[in-house]
Amino acid sequence: MDERELLLLGLLKIQSQHGYQINEFISKNLSRVTSMKKATAYALLENMRKNGLIDESISQEGNRPQRKVYSITSAGDAAFDTLLKTYLAQPGQITFSLDIALMFIGNLPVAEVINLLDERMKLLIEQIETYERAPKHEYDLGSRLAVEHVLSHLQLDLSWLQSAKEMIVQEASSGSNG
């Protein structure tokens, strides 16, 4: 199980919902803290149903098509509590696609690497500005903390990239192949 299942179970703890509601809520309200796609959410919901963590019922309103409505089970409640406690207490492995790319920067001219890192930094600045302009969830400490956590990582990444650029330039000017 992973944090995406924690998210889905958490949303179902609040209320039973159909898949479209869940995906719309994630898209509109949680896109700053998760990049979960609709297909992934539906696949996870189906897997959790098979594992007894959620129930599925059929609902129909008026002339609308039938919809599957998902509800958390007692086993799902227990799984949610376990996942919540685990993710709060234990650091996970942090991986960045940038780290793999950095291992191979020697395959590009230094000037191109610097230009690419400058482009990355420009995009990071745009992301940071977007997060800083986002409405604050004054009523929800958990949401505020999640957004602040992401923002802190973006700011740290930007600072680290500046240092990395300086290191690359210094290594190139000294003739090292580091």
Higher pLDDT, 152 or 90: 152
Distance CA 21, CA 161 (A): 38
Sign of CA dihedral 123, 126, 130, 132: positive
Q: Where are the beta strands (DSSP E) in 12-171?
A: 17-18, 54-59, 67-72
pLDDT for residue 140: 79
Task: Tell me which DSSP letter residue 107 carries.
Answer: G
Coil, strand or helix at 18: strand
List C-alpha distances in Å: 162 to 82, 117, 122, 150, 173: 39, 9, 11, 19, 17
pLDDT band at 64 (very low <50, low <70, confident <90, very high): confident
Residue 69: closest CA among 49, 83, 43:
49
Higher pLDDT, 142 or 135: 142
Per residue in 4-15, pLDDT (tens digit) is 999 999 999 999
Helix (H) or strand (E) holding 99: helix 97-102
Per residue in 67-113, pLDDT (tens digit) is 999 999 999 999 999 999 998 988 877 778 899 999 999 999 999 99
Do 87 and 100 touch, CB atoms closer than 8 A? no
pLDDT for 177 beyond 60 = no
pLDDT for residue 97: 83
- Mean pLDDT along residues 34-55: 94
| Average pLDDT for the chain | 90
